[in-house]
Amino acid sequence: MSKESVKKAMKHPDKLGAGAAKRKSLKPKDKVETVMKEYKRGTLHSGSGPIVHNPKQAIAIALSEAGKSKPKPKPKHPKTKTVK
């Protein structure tokens, strides 16, 4: 199913914001795959508009859209029970 959703997301016109709108419903792994395919195809735009030519920038965009660039919160330690 993920291959079909990625193919569906790749079908968009080459205008600003068209690809981002199609990627909203994808899973994080599929978003990264789709963004990198757009970069290779030459249709990946940054938020401000110009086409992305730097592979590091494409990776940063992919991780940002997938939500993987955010730091994970520290786990809360459970309160220890005292025995009376």
**Per-residue model confidence as pLDDT tens digits over 22-54:** 677 778 888 888 888 888 888 888 876 788 899
pLDDT at 44: 86
For residue 14, the model assigns a pLDDT of 57
DSSP code at position 51: B
Q: What phi-psi label fits residue 12: left (phi over 0), alpha (psi between -120 and 50 degrees) or beta?
A: beta
Q: pLDDT at residue 16 above 70?
A: no
Rounded to two decimals, the pTM is 0.60
Q: What is the pLDDT of residue 83?
A: 67
pLDDT at 15: 54
| Helix 28-41 and helix 2-10, axial crossing angle in degrees, nearest 10 | 40
Largest CA distance in the chain: 69
Give me the sign of the Cα torsion angle 63, 66, 68, 72: positive
